[in-house]
Amino acid sequence: MVLSIAAPEASPAELLAAAGHSASLESGTEWPAYPIAADQHGHEQPINQPLVVRARSVPSEFGPADLAERVWLRAAALRPAATIAVSSADGGVGRSTLVAALGDVLALAVPGPVVAVDMHPVPWGGLGERIGRSNAGTVWDAVRDLHTLTSRHEVERWTQRSPSGLLALVGETEGQGRRPPRHDEAAAVVEAVRRLYPLTICDVMPALITGVWRTLAAAYAPVLVARATTDSLHHTMRLLTHLRAAGNSAVVDRAVLAVVAVSPATDRTVRAVLQQAATVVPDVVSIPYDPQLARPEPVDARRLKKPTRTALVRLADAVIGRCTDPRVALPLAARMEHA
């Protein structure tokens, strides 16, 4: 389908940002820049024309229909170099599993290729197990050949591919000769990759160091993963409090909290903490227990249970809404038709 959206008139602050200048608002945040174009004389001027994007068809496995359609439409109108960063307060919460499952959905929704990058600084096969491996390439190869990562072809020499088409630079599991990258090395790879792909998803270690905080702050959509247990949720709440106290309020204000169930039933005390969490972050999405997500094997989001697929669409909606071009205000001035 084709989506045509009329761009609104830009304010002076937005025009300043479009020209490459920082335009700080009273809130302390910076207004995202409008795209700019050069006229025939070489003078830059803001684009104020309808934004036309081509959305992919929504697979029948995903719903509810209205929500899934919104996700797929937004996924066709991403900001340039959109980035999602997924971290947590603790290890062992299913973070890499969630990256693979969410990434699988987004790979089906985004018209261009989506790539995930394992940024763990320790030997870890989590994302690789959830994506599947067809070659020996890992993020270490990308670190070693960082200077060559100037095209998708060069990146995809080292990527793995999920059943739904998610590309991934998976973690390095060897400890000699090859090694897992340091956080700054992985961040350099992400910076190179995000310039080549419409959407990049970072699988980040627990948010225990300032480097991870910077990665979360740089992402349009910071996601924190917790288990549906009181301990995991309390640890996450403490992390959010610490982030705000350390001057990272913008991360907390944009954060999406994904809570992964550890059993088919949710304890009453867990539900109470979830209600508390909903007053701290703008979006809390619960992912129900699914045996397939509990197994260390490649994730195919289309084959998960229906409640899980629905929850992943809700998570994708929360995340992709933070990555959409600011000119897109669905369904304002939108026109959909079959391509």
- How far is residue 89's CA from residue 105's CA, in Å, rounded to a whole number? 24
Cα dihedral 200, 206, 211, 212 in deg (nearest 10) = 40
- How far is residue 30's CA from residue 32's CA, in Å, rounded to a whole number? 6
Look at the domain 58-329 and name its fold.
Answer: Rossmann fold (3.40.50)
Work out the angle at residue 93's Cα, subtended by the Cα atoms of residues 208 and 201, and round it to the nearest 5 degrees: 75
Provide the b/e sequence for 111-131 (b: ≥16 CB within 10 Å): eebbbbbbbbbeebbbbbbbb
pLDDT of residue 71: 95
pLDDT of residue 89: 98
pLDDT of residue 329: 56
Q: Report yes or no: 201 and 177 within 8 Å, Cβ to Cβ.
A: no
Strand partners, 199: 82, 114
Number of other CB atoms surrounding residue 208 within 10 Å: 14
Kindly report the length of the chain: 339
pLDDT of residue 325: 87
Q: What residues does each domain of the chain span?
A: 1-54, 58-329
- The DSSP 8-state label assigned to residue 166 in this structure reads -
Instruction: Output the furthest CA–CA distance in the chain (Å, rounded).
Output: 66
State the DSSP H helix or E strand holding residue 183, giving kind and residue range, or none if neither.
Answer: helix 183-194
Amino acid at 23: A
Give the pLDDT means over successive 10-residue stretches in the chain (339 positions).
Answer: 44 35 30 34 47 84 94 94 98 96 98 97 88 94 97 98 96 82 96 97 96 96 98 98 96 98 92 95 97 92 97 98 79 42
pLDDT of residue 178: 86
| Helix (H) and strand (E) counts in the chain | 13, 13
pLDDT of residue 81: 95
As a whole number of Å, the CA-based R_g of the chain is 20
Strands 167-169, 2-5: pairing kind? unpaired
Strand partners, 264: none
